[in-house]
Amino acid sequence: MQTRLLPGTKALLPVIGQGTWDVPEHGARGEEAVRALRRGLELGMTHIDTAEMYGSGRAEEIVAQAIAGVPREQVFLTSKVLPSNASFKGTIAACERSLKRLRVSYLDLYLLHWPSSFAIEETMSALEQLVADGKTRFIGVSNFDVEDVKEAQAALRRGRLACNQVLYHLKERGIEKRLLPFCKQEQISIVAYTPFGRGTLAADMRAGDVLHEIAAKHKKTARQIVLRFLTRDPDVFTIPKASTVKHVEENSGAADFELTAGDISQIDGAFPARSDGRLATL
């Protein structure tokens, strides 16, 4: 698996990680989800993203099962605090609960899940305290547009934002106009969630001539072409969810080839970025 330096840190992150939003939580499908996460680790997809919101903490417990027995330093764990918990004390307590569910002593990255009604200075102060206490190595935000990122940065006193996790797929490329250039300038990585989108994009990936034409040329799948396109910028990482071993193995094959300028132009024409630069969220 190809790795890149997380901007502003000394941490190497796999270009393609593993998401856990809406991951199956119980029964045979839940057991397969655990196997998929373990297989992803074997394939070098060592960045696992989760959140206290996912399954009301159940996703973190599934991640704990998947990483059991794996040396802690071999996994890059990200979790998130809900905005409703993002007071100073609430953020500290939420992180402690996540650590307990994950059965680890620290996170690698802890994020504010989306802008909160609590003062950003209060939340950022709590995140910095968690770094000082050794509860997380790095901090960041999620679903923040340019103005929100600026406010979060300005509220920091000792640390810096390592990433902004946002929605980014072929039909939601608004971040390319304003947010991505700004974050690159500030050395804040973009971590793209839901890279395959939902609804109509899935149909386009099955029937889209452009994606399948390019996939055939590279001997890849349409999903692999999508992941490679979204991570063509060196400051962008992605965290597709894969609930089966088959899908996680497919995702892992998206980081060992390069798209040509012609490929990128074709995809750009078929799935143009919106001109208003709006940040979309689920």
**Which residues are annotated as catalytic?**
54
Query: Which tokens is 25 given?
Result: 């939580």
What backbone torsions phi and psi does residue 190 show, to the nearest 5 degrees? Answer: -105, 125
Closest Cα partner for 242 from 45, 27, 26, 109?
45
CA-to-CA dists, residue 197 to 21, 177, 219, angstroms: 13, 19, 23
Tell me how crowded residue 129 is: count the other CB atoms within 10 A of its CB.
16
Residue 131 tokens, joined: 């770094």
Q: Beta strand pairing status for 12-14 and 3-5?
A: antiparallel
Say how far apart CA 242 and CA 198 lie, in whole Å: 14
Give me the helices (H) in the chain, please: 27-42, 58-67, 88-102, 120-132, 146-155, 179-185, 200-207, 209-218, 222-230, 245-252, 261-270
- In degrees, rounded to 5, the angle at the alpha carbon of residue 237 between the alpha carbons of residues 232 and 243 is 115
Grouping H, G, I as helix, E, B as strand and the rest as coil, residue 112 is strand
